[in-house]
Amino acid sequence: MARKNTDIRQEEIKQAVLDIIFTDGLKNLSTSNLAKRIGMSEGSIFRHFPTKQDIIISIIEDVQNDFIGQLRIIANSSLPPTERLQKFLCATVNYLTDNKGITMLLFSEASHNNDAALKSSLQQIFNNQKQLVSKIILDGIALGIWDESIPVENVAMLYMGIPVSLNIDLILSGGEFHADNFCSKMLQLILKILKK
């Protein structure tokens, strides 16, 4: 097979991992299947990643940087809180529906491996989202837009249920989730909770 730089190969490998997870399930993610999917030899994979586990870790790091990074920009922007919340929610829904392999990876990896480092990364992704939502809500309360007596922590937890149960729906339905205006309808519900 033609030579390519490690950074290119790493991207190809990570993409193939997500591809396999989505089409065949995590169970079928073997280095042998991975090599076949890319069309390279199995040994070659280990030129670009020291272990199979390191591929997974690298993917999770990507999620931190790309997805959480994007949400952080929205949450910290100077837009009105209501608008921030809307962009935040829709960005989440879009990311999850566009990256179904990642969805399945995050979900199963936590309970599959019981690896401490991995769990901690996943916990960070989960908690970062919760914190960013809390920030938006607190900003809205500070501006006098929303009810200051609501338990912010609990609303954030309820909010997190939206992406997470969307995740489950996506996995169980094989990726065919098509609720019209899903994110705007969900936003209305959350706004009703926040209303004074």
Contacts with DNA, residue ranges (CB under 7 A)? 1-6, 9, 28-33, 40-44, 46-48, 50-53
Q: With respect to a second copy, which residue has the nearer C-beta, 27 or 47?
A: 27
Are the beta carbons of 24 and 41 closer than 8 angstroms?
Answer: no
Q: Which is closer to DNA, CB of 12 or CB of 139?
A: 12
Region for 4 from its dihedrals, namely left if φ exceeds 0, alpha if ψ lies in -120 to 50, beta otherwise = beta
Q: Which does 114 bind (CB under 5 to 8 A by kind): DNA, a second copy, none?
A: a second copy
Cβ-based neighbours of 127, under 8 Å, separated by 6 or more: none
Binding site partner of 119, from a second copy, DNA, none, Cβ cut-off 5-8 A by kind = a second copy
> Distance from CA of residue 173 to its chain's centroid?
18
Nearer to DNA, 27 or 196 (CB): 27
Which tokens belong to 38?
């890319």
Q: Minimal distance in Å, beta carbon 47 to a second copy?
A: 25
CB 110 within 8 A of CB 125: no
Q: How far is the CB of 45 from DNA (least distance, A)?
A: 8
- Please tell me the total number of residues recorded for the chain in this structure: 196
